[in-house]
Chains A and B, each alone.
Chain A
Amino acid sequence: MSTNGARLDAAYLRPGTSSFAEFLASQAPQLLPRGNGDFTDLAPHGTTIVAATFEGGVVMAGDRRATMGNIIAQRDIQKVYASDEFSCVGIAGTAGLAVEMVRLFQTELEHYEKIEGSSLSIDGKANRLAALIRGNLSMAMQGLAVVPLFAGYDLDRAYGRIFSYDATGGRYEEHSFHSVGSGSMFARGSLKKLYREGLTQSECVTALVQALYDAADDDSATGGPDLARRIFPVVNVITADGQVRLPDDEVAQIADTVVAARMQRPDGPAASLT
């Protein structure tokens, strides 16, 4: 890296890539999120992320728990991040690597936007994220996998889209809803029964909070709404107007309603049999 006061390094002036990750790899590979050795139990793991589309956009929510083995490493970790104005990424897996990967991804999108003067298409963003995950493959094989969920609003087609990944960088588009992380099986089962076409934004947020509750109910690594400490899921909503992280009191209100209903029926809303 060029130091303060010195002439710009030749690499900075060289015409070519608008990818920050590639530039970083050539100039300062030591800053890339990767390493060597077996660290399986060294770092905290993030757990469940859920996302669903609704009429006019997409919502992503994540619980707040990070675990190290059977220990709760953190109660209020943030696992859903805005990657730019119209997309967000939720991370499950090794928290340290995942947060660093999100930072690189955010810089990557902003860097492209500044250099090219226009944003990447949502498919372009999803592919760049796949490339970053693939770069982490050697770490994934040592037990430090990062498996994000990516969601964004497609400005060209005017609807929300969701992409899931595997540890090798495989990219799969999901329809309607999806979930990743240790509690994802339970969350997905829950969403199967709760999700339907044409949900409004607030219904969609409620469905996701219900799904996280179900995940926390059956998966010890997923944190449910923490009523004593008032810690609630992080919920990001993306529409044509851009992205907002729902304010805590708004999520708290929905979570309180969900928890109150569970007091009556702990298994959550019943779906009809036919």
Chain B
Amino acid sequence: MSMPFYVSPEQLMKDRADFARKGIARGRGVVVIQYTDGVLFATENPSAALHKISEIYDRIAFAAVGRYNEFENLRIAGVRLADMRGYSYDRRDVSGRGLANAYAQTLGTIFSSGGEKPYEVELFVAEIGDAQGADQIYRLTFDGQVADEHGFAAMGGAADVATAHLAEHWHDQMSFEEALQLAATALGRNDAGDRTIPARDLEVAILDRTRPQARKFRRLADEAVNAVLTP
């Protein structure tokens, strides 16, 4: 009878993390940028039907990179959690922090349980407040870690190049147009060289504080994106 090889816990976790990281790096990146009236999400996504950015609740939105089936599953769970909490208490009682915690626990448990394959996803959960200072952006990684981001963030393929570009150009008084232009150039940055992503391949959505409705999330149509990006 053959004996199984001993694998140290460090090695086991490292292998699982490498596996997840590889899956995430294969996909196209997502950037999130804070501007004066809200938070903007953008990603390169030629599909008009399979979204990477979605509404969760009145002031909360979600963006993801990685395996579609896994983050879609998490997105639906998030919508259910938010609607359940809003229905049983009140709409104001649904918070981005609560949602980020639930995601963190879920991803963390899956990552460290031996039975399941770790999720190959990384998520942003953003919530806007009444003023720019109250906005919150959380980054959740495949192992359940939560990080609080300020101003801007990028994840997925070529995230480091995009982050460097954002760090160089972001400032805290950005208009919506400036934010969208910055997002488009940041997504076009690549180790292999810069390129311009056509507006029809960009998926852009915003959480807009100035919207009169309770639901602040708005997806931007191609024409609207094009109008801002065309010089």
Which residues in A have some Cβ–Cβ distance to B below 8 Å? 1-2, 4-8, 12-13, 15, 20, 23-24, 27-28, 31, 103-104, 107, 110-111, 114-115, 117
Contacts and interface: CB of A to CB of B under 8 A. Distances in A.
Contacts of A13: 73-74, 76-77, 106
A196 to B, nearest CB: 34
Q: Interface of chain A, helix or strand or loop or mixed?
A: helix
A199 to B, nearest CB: 28
Interface residues of B, number: 27
B88 A7 contact: no
B188 to A, nearest CB: 26
A1 B88 contact: yes
Contact of B79 (A15, A28, A111): A111
Contact of B87 (A5, A7, A107, A114): A107
B43 to A, nearest CB: 16
SS of B interface (majority) = helix
Given A7-B109, A117-B51, A110 B83 contact: yes
Given A12-B76, A28-B84, A31-B88, 14 more contacts: A1-B85, A5-B101, A6-B105, A8-B102, A13-B76, A15-B73, A20-B83, A23-B80, A24-B87, A28-B88, A31-B87, A111-B80, A114-B55, A114-B56
A256 B97 CA distance: 49
B142 interface: no
B54 interface: yes
27 contacts: A1-B84, A1-B85, A1-B88, A2-B81, A2-B102, A4-B102, A8-B103, A8-B105, A8-B106, A12-B77, A12-B81, A13-B106, A15-B76, A24-B84, A27-B84, A103-B87, A104-B87, A107-B83, A110-B83, A110-B215, A111-B79, A114-B54, A114-B56, A114-B79, A115-B79, A117-B49, A117-B51
